[in-house]
């Protein structure tokens, strides 16, 4: 049966004003199973009126009171973890175990982390000897928009909403139209958690219509966006015209640097394989260009390919599936097109390179075998453009300088991982990498206090910890003369 989703406006589940809906597909089966509102500027206007009314009271509440609401919401999600995880897996094609163990617990952690952080937040004071005292106020902005992508739906949605609410803003959130289901569950839970109407609004709809209406509206004070570099650039232009704050978390083409002295254990190899293919390679932090020191290249290639071949692609709801389906027909076509391009460019497919047929209920799903390619130059499109699927390349390097040059030679700069037992090299390479995040002998080990974001075309600004709270507040200096 097709489920019909609603917007959350003024504390109530609401149909879109225009009565129009978008189809939502289950990637594992290729079937439409839900309809999501295709909201437009009329819904944005309604939502804004409610959010603007809610703002004075919400922003004036003690931080402990805002934290209490957020913690209640976190508790409700945790109580329904299985329901959320099933919805996330069904909606996005990701393995249920990933949603259960990572996505949904992390959404709970985001809410709890920022609920705690806001009660501990302090600002600076600057004393000018006996002449004056300056202190810094960080005040909420008003109504802000949080726009998120389909790859980690609830995880990234809450990563934005939580600091915005904690800092005292009212939020208009727009989840990806490709994966709206857990946002609907979040809306229902937020009503139950007792958030005052207008504090949290959830608007479903397409990027071009709903997203753009949010970005362009002059009453929206800031945009926190995670998604593609192409859309990020459009948002930056629109925000610049209105001198609006924008935080942009965009695409990546991350390098994994494996040095000859890496700890060649099975556990470390597993982590590198996971960093390549977790969530079908659809994590902005996945390492898609694996650079390997030439002296160990052949041995590493053999082990990496064997481990990749052992990954099981299948029904995301089954516990044995390491990889599920990619998110949509359009994305499936894009990734398969990238593999065809790699072949045209002269790449050798070491494993994968084709769609996977999963019989039974998943026979029409969008499954792709994890794919490893070698023999391509650093400047070819396969090694320069984001694929965002289960596709990686291997390239050899001769020394640290060449490793850095290869790692840094794309327009992106989100994350990198470095695998070496030489601590001095690790520090030196980390300092030389053009990326916002570097992991050494680990991957996606996340401390929510740390700054998160990329350089070059991977983004502008940082999320996480106090960086996020700063983004969602306006800084004001107050100077008091001590001896007027
Ligand atoms: P996308 O840019 O197509 O869409 C992201 C969101 O923006 C969706 O909610 C979409 O509806 C909305 N949107 C689209 N056009 C818009 C417009 N004109 N105005 C306002 N909103 C608009 O991205 P996607 O395909 O959903 O996600 C995949 C991309 O996200 C990849 O490039 C990936 O690297 C990136 N990503 C980055 C990070 C990070 O932290 N840097 C994290 C996850 C994903």
pLDDT tens per residue across span 124-141: 999 999 899 999 999 999
Gap from CA of 20 to ligand 1 centroid (Å): 22
**Residue 1 confidence (pLDDT) above 80:** no
- Residues with C-beta less than 6 Å from any ligand 1 atom: 147-151, 156, 174, 176-177, 206-208, 211-212, 215, 226-228, 231, 234-235, 249-252, 284, 386, 388, 414, 454, 458-459
Nearest Cα to 390, choosing from 279, 307, 226?
279
pLDDT of residue 283 exceeding 90: yes
User: With contact defined as beta carbons under 8 Å apart, do 67 and 116 qualify?
Assistant: yes
Residue 426: both structure tokens together: 């690790």
* For range 314-327, the mean pLDDT: 98
CA of 174 to the centre of ligand 1 (A): 11
How confident is the model at residue 143, as a pLDDT? 98
pLDDT tens digits for range 401-438: 999 999 999 999 999 999 999 999 999 999 999 999 99
Say whether pLDDT at 321 is over 80: yes
Max CA distance (Å), the chain: 81
Contact 231, 208 (CB under 8 A): no
Q: Is 212 helix (H, G, I), strand (E, B) or coil?
A: helix
Decide: 24 and 36 in contact? Cβ < 8 Å: yes
Q: Are 128 and 175 in contact (CB under 8 A)?
A: no
Is 0.85 surpassed by the pTM of this model? yes
Name the strands in the sheet holding 21-26, side by side, starting at the edge strand that comes first in the sequence: 3-4, 31-37, 21-26
- Nearest-atom index, ligand 1, CA of 230: 2
Contact 264, 246 (CB under 8 A): no
Task: Looking at the CA of residue 331, tell me the nearest atom of ligand 1.
Answer: 25
Ligand 1 atom 36, closest CA: 227
Give catalytic status of residue 362 as yes or no.
no
The mean of the pLDDT values for the chain is: 98
Q: Is the pLDDT of residue 483 over 90?
A: no
Give the mean pLDDT of 90-99.
Answer: 98
Task: Kindly list the distances between the CA atom of residue 97 and the CA atoms of 315, 317, 344, in Å, as whole numbers in the listed order.
Answer: 11, 8, 36
338 among known catalytic residues: no
The Cα–Cα gap between 307 and 267 comes to 11
Q: What is the pLDDT of residue 484?
A: 84
pLDDT at 326 over 80: yes
| Position in ligand 1 atom list of the atom nearest CA 249 | 41
- Rounded average pLDDT over 462-471: 98
């Amino acid at each position: 049966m097709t489920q019909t989703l609603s917007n959350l406006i003024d504390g109530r589940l609401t149909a879109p004003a225009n009565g129009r809906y978008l189809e939502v597909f289950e990637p594992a089966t290729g079937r439409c199973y839900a309809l999501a509102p295709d909201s437009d500027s009329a819904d944005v206007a309604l939502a804004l009126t409610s959010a603007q009314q809610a703002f004075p009271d919400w922003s004036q509440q003690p931080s402990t009171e805002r934290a209490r609401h957020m913690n209640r919401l976190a508790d409700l999600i945790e109580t329904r973890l299985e329901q959320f995880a099933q919805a996330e897996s069904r909606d996005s094609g990701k393995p249920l175990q990933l949603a259960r163990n990572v996505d949904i617990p992390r959404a709970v952690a985001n809410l709890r982390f920022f609920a705690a952080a806001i009660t501990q937040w302090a600002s600076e004071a600057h004393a000018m000897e006996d002449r004056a005292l300056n202190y810094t106020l960080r005040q909420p902005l008003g109504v802000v928009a949080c726009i998120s992508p389909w790859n980690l739906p609830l995880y990234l949605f809450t990563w934005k909403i939580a600091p915005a609410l904690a800092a005292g803003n009212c939020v208009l959130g727009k989840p990806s139209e490709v994966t709206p289901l857990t946002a609907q569950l979040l809306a229902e839970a937020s009503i139950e958690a007792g958030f005052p109407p207008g504090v949290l609004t959830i608007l479903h709809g397409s990027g071009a219509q709903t997203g753009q209406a949010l970005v362009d509206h002059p009453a929206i004070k800031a945009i926190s966006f995670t998604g593609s570099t192409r859309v990020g650039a459009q948002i930056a232009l629109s925000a610049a015209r209105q001198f609006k704050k924008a935080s942009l978390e965009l695409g990546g083409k991350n390098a994994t640097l494996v040095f000859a002295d890496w700890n060649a254990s099975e556990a470390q190899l597993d982590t590198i394989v996971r960093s390549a293919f977790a969530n079908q390679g659809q994590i902005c932090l996945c390492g898609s260009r694996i650079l390997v020191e030439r002296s160990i290249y052949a041995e590493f290639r053999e082990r990496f390919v064997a481990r990749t071949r052992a990954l099981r692609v299948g029904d995301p709801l089954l516990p044995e599936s390491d990889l599920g389906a990619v998110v949509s027909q359009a994305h499936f076509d894009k990734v398969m097109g990238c593999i065809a391009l790699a072949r045209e460019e002269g790449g050798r497919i070491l494993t994968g390179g084709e769609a996977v047929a999963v019989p039974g209920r998943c026979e029409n799903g969008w499954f792709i075998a994890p794919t490893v390619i070698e023999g391509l130059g650093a400047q070819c499109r396969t090694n320069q453009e984001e694929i965002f699927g289960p596709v990686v390349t291997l390239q050899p390097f001769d020394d640290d300088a060449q490793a850095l040059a290869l790692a840094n030679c794309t327009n992106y700069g989100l994350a990198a991982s470095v695998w070496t037992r030489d601590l001095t090299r690790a520090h030196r390479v980390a300092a030389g990498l053009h990326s916002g995040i570097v992991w050494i002998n680990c991957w996606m080990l996340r401390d929510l206090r740390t700054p998160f974001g990329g350089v070059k075309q991977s983004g502008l600004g940082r999320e996480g910890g106090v960086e996020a709270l700063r983004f969602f507040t306006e800084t004001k200096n107050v100077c008091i003369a001590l001896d007027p």
